[in-house]
Structure 1
């Protein structure tokens, strides 16, 4: 053994299951970079909402100033009082809430019931009928918008809330979503229930619905948000002022020569709040329902 061998550094010992220091540092750096990227992406997505809230607290002339004032000065809190005094906001929100709740309830019921038939009931032409029904998702609404309007007019449902309810009570997307989730539930549960004498409706009500709460919550949340934000449908069918939804009502702040953008932003904030609250309350079920849909159990 030479003198050089005595002073040679001893190599670092890595225990089983322990990462080397350099690899651990690189992994930590990648994780931090990922968090920073996600934070920047979240900030970019939230920036328009922040601007909407800030604009609702400005005067009408300060909404589109250049450069943008990200902190309003002064804070015009009176906008949230003026919009109730100068508009029929209570009626708008009431009509929107009524349509959203009724349409969501009907779509959840019809979608889950039809999906059970496609997922569990055997009948000739089932797959072909399902493909034809799901294929309607690819058909743009503009292609049958006029025939649909003529049908609603002949049924004397035009200019009533029933027209929106009738055309949105059924949806192919809800049937597809629920069918994919039902197929993740073991068939043995249904077979055992049939042996015990339970009918198909009993299986659907007592077994399938309780087990499919995440998918039902996802469908309800998507349908509620879609109906709440719908503008074209109410614009076509609802002409009376007392039938306006929040989306149509905000359009009344735009005249031929002027637009009250501060009040429009104030109304937009008020229209977003119910959707945000509902999403926060049902976020766990929504993520779980989307994540598990299509996975075989």
Structure 2
């Protein structure tokens, strides 16, 4: 696209039109130095995102009309982009039929209950889409790595989780499991960016602070989780998320591919 020898930029008529839009100009001006390739890639991302968000509205409309219950579950490394992907999925759909669940650590009372109980209370009602920003899989990776559960509690969870999901699916709830994966280098880069941004510093937690040091431990437990819970009935979708925009598009495409909604539903 760029002729570096002559310092000229050769654009197709379609690309020039995209860059001459409000979104295109903002994408160009937001980068220092200017980078036409990246700006065009970002405009193409916005176009694709809008197209997919229309389909998400169609999917939700179908779910409401047919009393469908849907769970989209997000797991992954700290700073892998789970929250950003969830925001792109939910920002255009009807908020009255959607919930985002990001539970805090269990209360003393909840610690005495069956581990899955507080998650059961969050399951969707008819026509509702529920997105879990982390889920019961905390006990598969985060809790054992950080010493938040005992070895016995971990073993009990691993014995029960597939049966728990089988019951969810047999009840008619649709379950989509997404794991967002980033490299150790990319995670450190994102942590550094968060720490420098006063609008994002609140995102850093003590668990995040230890993530780099415990990288190999997370990897070990992640592998155990996939080996046990990546079943034919309830498979995982692993999204390579070093590039956020690509990961968000892939997440939405996977959701749309996983739910057999009527693509002719009027919206």
Largest Rg, 1 or 2 = 1
Which structure is higher in helix share? 1
TM over 0.5: no
Bigger relative contact order, structure 1 or 2 (CA pairs below 8 A, ≥6 apart): 1
TM-score range, shorter chain: under 0.3
- TM-score, normalised by the number of residues in structure 2: 0.25
TM-score (norm 1): 0.23
